[in-house]
Structure 1
């Protein structure tokens, strides 16, 4: 399939390679620019573990702080793998689900043993902090980066959408989906989405992608592996439909 990948530049590389290895033709249009806050200060006094809900937060932490001996509780396998590659030896993963991450922490960590440091961006959902704080944990969020939304599509992506060249758009976060929808309307390209499928990481992403899509698909789990499997199944169905039309 011909796919538009909208992840931030650094996050997108692994996804891009995986998609191309499956035979897809992929165009990259990062809709969020990750910019570190180099003046930020990481205070680890009284911290018992790191809470990692994005690789961008972990990367920003690693650029600012050399300490790698804290346990890491990561929201999913990608963040967990990044932590292990960086030298963290005790890494726990909640398989892509913030609710499960909170449950994992509540099972394994004592609120009285110290704070949980959450290296994050400026804009984060509040569900995780509410769950942990209601259970007595101190979640110390430190803002280490900004995710800046694109102001317009690149000329190449604008041309692809106008020419009806693409089969689908990949959306990995609510902010990316909101940004894509805003830019589509800004460019007067809503009708172009009528021939496109939207592949969304989660129901929250799908809800944010408010456009007249041909179809909307939501991954069974909020991780890259589930996204890739969903795309493969959709491609198979598309090929079967095309084959059926050809036979008639």
Structure 2
């Protein structure tokens, strides 16, 4: 008699820049769950030119680790205090010797914290061309001195042939989506595979719009660890055939 059919391993489909995707895949693998990995970044990070003059700034705001990386690569100052939305961005700044405070949440949490503590120093929000939250504008309206500058762009790039094949196949695909920018780009892709999507936030859910998906779960907190928890749950379901 023929043996039982072997179910193919689920695919962990990662669309962040290569280094961040590889790191997340490795962390997910630490759980002991088995899966295949497809990495195909939907955008790349490009510095937009010389850094803005930060001589008058008393503190820097970063809402992405990409901003920290570009700031440091371009020779930005490391002696200023840093305020970040999430822990991963704070860790990136601290690894370079900068003093960082993380709001441990979303842009709203950082804005609320800064308003409550009212730093007596001018701030500058350094971000990508595609950003949300109106951080500098909202802080300025609240009475704080805060400027804003674009220091990098996130131009879109096409999915690889392997990634497109995964989206059009029959194997379950687990898709962590970390930003509205990624959600918007992913929503433009044709998909017919059973997609199990992990969204970083409600803003990401809104950006995904009409994307074909079998299931969608939002992380309990907008941070990498919470995303891994959701991805692990979705991987377990896929491995059990519960999709």
TM-score by length of 1: 0.85
Answer yes or no: is the 8 Å Cα contact 2:180–2:203 preserved in 1: yes
**Structure 1 position 116 matched with structure 2 position 115:** no
Query: How far did residue 200 of structure 1 move?
Result: 0.8
Q: Helix, strand or coil: the match of 1:148?
A: coil
**Structure 1 position 201 matched with structure 2 position 193:** no
**Structure 1 position 49 matched with structure 2 position 59:** yes
Partner residue, 2:4: none
**Structure 1 position 98 matched with structure 2 position 120:** no
Instruction: For residues 142-187 of structure 1, give each alpha carbon's deviation from its aligned partner in whole angstroms, at most 9, with x where no partner exists.
Output: 211100112x3211112222232343212111111110111x2xxx
Answer yes or no: is the 8 Å Cα contact 1:40–1:143 preserved in 2: no
Q: Count residues with an aligned counterpart.
A: 231
Partner residue, 2:217: 217
**Structure 1 position 143 matched with structure 2 position 143:** no
Query: How far did residue 241 of structure 1 move?
Result: 6.1
Partner residue, 1:228: 228
Query: How far did residue 42 of structure 1 move?
Result: 2.8
**Structure 1 position 76 matched with structure 2 position 76:** no
Query: How far did residue 134 of structure 1 move?
Result: 1.3
Instruction: For residues 72-101 of structure 1, give each alpha carbon's deviation from its aligned partner in whole angstroms, at most 9, with x where no partner exists.
Output: 11111100100110111x210011311111
Answer yes or no: is the 8 Å Cα contact 2:196–2:234 preserved in 1: no
More helix by share: 1
Q: Which runs of 4+ in 1 moved over 6 A?
A: none
Residues 164, 241 of structure 1: alpha-carbon distance in 2 compared, 3 angstrom cutoff: closer
Q: Helix, strand or coil: the match of 1:137?
A: coil
Instruction: For residues 170-221 of structure 1, give each alpha carbon's deviation from its aligned partner in whole angstroms, at most 9, with x where no partner exists.
Output: 2111111110111x2xxxx34x14x111111111111211223111111111
Distance 1:172 1:51 in 2: 19
Query: How far did residue 239 of structure 1 move?
Result: 5.1
Residues 239, 15 of structure 1: alpha-carbon distance in 2 compared, 3 angstrom cutoff: closer
Q: Helix, strand or coil: the match of 2:78?
A: coil
Residues 96, 121 of structure 1: alpha-carbon distance in 2 compared, 3 angstrom cutoff: same
TM-score by length of 2: 0.87
Query: How far did residue 5 of structure 1 move?
Result: 0.7
Residues 233, 165 of structure 1: alpha-carbon distance in 2 compared, 3 angstrom cutoff: closer
Distance 1:135 1:93 in 2: 20
Q: Helix, strand or coil: the match of 1:47?
A: coil
Partner of residue 164 from structure 2, selected from 158, 163, 168: 158
Partner of residue 170 from structure 1, selected from 160, 171, 176: 176
Partner residue, 1:30: 41
Gaps in structure 2 of 5+ consecutive residues? 1-9
